[in-house]
Chain A
Amino acid sequence: VVGLITGCTAGGATTNTQPTNASVEGNEAQGDTITIGYSGPAADHGWLGAINNAAIAEADKYDDVDLRIAEGTNDANLQISQVETFINDKVDAIVLLPTDGAALTQVAIRAMEAGIPVINVDREFSSTFAARATILGDNYGMGVSAGTYICEELGDNPDAVVAEIAGIDSLPLTQERSAGFAKALSDCGLSVTNRVSADFTVAGGEATTSQLLAAAPQIDALWNHDDDQGIGVLAAIDAAGRDEFIMVGGAGSANAMRLIQADDSVMKATVVYPSTQAADGIRLARLLVQEKAMSDLVEVEIPNRIVLNAPVVTSENVEKYLPTAFES
């Protein structure tokens, strides 16, 4: 706390670009104990499970963080009431991965009005007043990355058959991913020939893929939105004995990356969608409440908006990403 005040005054007129408080050591140092409320959607598939586990693990690292977890719902009504509970309890900060960004906006605004900073993770609120900071994965960017990679691989074959296996279609993020994918493909003159949507589950991936493969006897490239359902997708591909195409995954599970590393399946690449967003959210919330800044940034305050990159992982760079990948 003291550090921040000095930082502010010191930062006034000088060109000093190294705030004293924002060192890694300074940020790790124990501060006042704070209570962070965390609420996320039902951990009903690998990525979300990883999100929650990473958040909890992150909170466990700090003795000065008391995490209140209310994870586990796809019901906006219930999640709103969980946030209300946090407001009632006057927690110090709320990290919220909303089941639907727009639906949770009002209650987040109420929390902000009650003086509780809200960190919005992954699915964005519909109002900028609803969150003090926002950490987003780039869903549209994921689609773009996957599409661009496929364009590169397929080169200049305008008749190439591109198939897409989406996640839960009624989620806005699925729509964004598909939109990005379609955009990138159209830049090289391709389009999605066959599209099915699964439900982010292994079984759903398997079932829809086996149907898709029957419907499309010849495929050149396939993008699967989610590596967790990808296990099922690959099982179906194996069962059908198909290997004429390249497959790109999504989210970036350790499992998928090991396959890419082995380079003996159709799985050639995956697009990372970081599963550490909520953990980052917890960390930001702690810094925010303890009035610290981010290390490696000159800025003395926590930024409003952080959009995480959606890099493509291939056999060339897989070593770099494997350590932070999530186990499904």
Chain B
Amino acid sequence: MRKSFAGVKALQGVDLVVRPGEVHCVLGQNGAGKSTLIKTLSGAYQPDSGEIFWQGEPITIGGPVAALELGIATMYQELDVVDGLTIAENVFLGHEQATGGLLHVASANARTEQILSRLGHGEISPRMEVGQLSAANKQIVSMARALSRDTRLIIMDEPSAVLDSQEVENLFRVVAELTAQGIAVVYISHRLAEIRRIGDRITVIKDGKSMANGLSVADTSTPELIRLMTGRDVANVFPAATPIAADAPVVLACHRLGVRGVFSNVSLEVRAGEVVGLAGLVGSGRSEILEAIYGARRSTSGTVTVNGTVLRAGSVEAAVSAGIGLSPEERKSQGLILDEPIFKNVTLSSFGRFARGGFLNERRERQAAREQIEALELRPADPDLVTRTLSGGNQQKILLARWLVHGTAVLLLDEPTRGVDVGARAEIYGLIRRLAEAGTAIIVVSSEIDEVLGLADRVLVISDGAVLTTTNSNEIDEPGVLDLVMRGSAA
């Protein structure tokens, strides 16, 4: 099997060779062109030039149907399921089980059930509507869809981004099964540890060009990979935490905070300069806790106090004016106005400050935004660029810049590095630390437990909407957290 091509603006000469039965990892920074590459393979985009070979034959993939008919199935980065349909209907979307247009509902359900069991999720009913599923389960539906076809090659674009460690294990098991059957897997992830575990060979893409082809995973060191991706050496370690002064004031305090049916009795305190991490499985309620503190979700019990003042429940404005900032979980849908220029996104929480009598002073606004994005090394650092064109990591930085311009005492970061590449990750880690050192109280939520442990001074382990423990991050390790979580949910 050999595919090679060059072309689309985002892709300027990429070679990729995938062999049957292997797990071929594609690595690259945000915006390197990984998703674009695979979309070309799946027929979603047409390449401007270049050739694709399939089992030795040069072919053109005219559209998604053509790719599917060849046996190329794709799990896209943006969840590609339809909420209004059931799981079985999603799995067989486009190749419905039907005669003369009339559906065989029962047989589709039965086959879906089989596939789900194979994926280790026999407990999910194929008749459930996908809109009711969590992001992780949607990912499983996506996978089931790929398996429902007779495929020779499955492309997975960041499948683990919304999965927790348990689910990731499950995913690896399925991948192993697939490769054992001779099916090739193209695997994209920003988590280098995963690639080490399941990858056979690696292709690295940088700025739309392939930097390395088919490197053997076993023979390539992590720093080497990072250098290939970023073109420089990045210390993939967390910045050292400086101890917090013993007399640092408590900035944020939650007392027995709860949202009915989601979580209850969460009490926590964050001091100036402290980074507190929330660890837990997907769906444990971490995002909800942040949202409740921020007022984006109305709490039904308990209080949130900032610098001694109790906040009005369910009021984002109150939280913002008290000095809390939130960088939400879903960058694109909750954080940014993608079609607006960067500077307007940076000043979204504070443009009122650049106005006199309601009249905006865009020049000052742009200036303030420019200062921050230059300090954050946003690339490119042009405040007038349309936000949509930026890579994920840079978009994340815009959200941080927003609160830097606004000035916050408390910063809530929900999955600040989701879908962000190694290079940008290190920068964001450094930034979080610098903010803490400047006296900001920070709460970080991340699905990657090592990230929580590495970043935070203190860790709260959450399970099923309840705080299990609070420990200093240096007193616990990843297996320890997982162990707690397992026991917590079993109890």
Direct contact of A and B (CB under 8 A): no
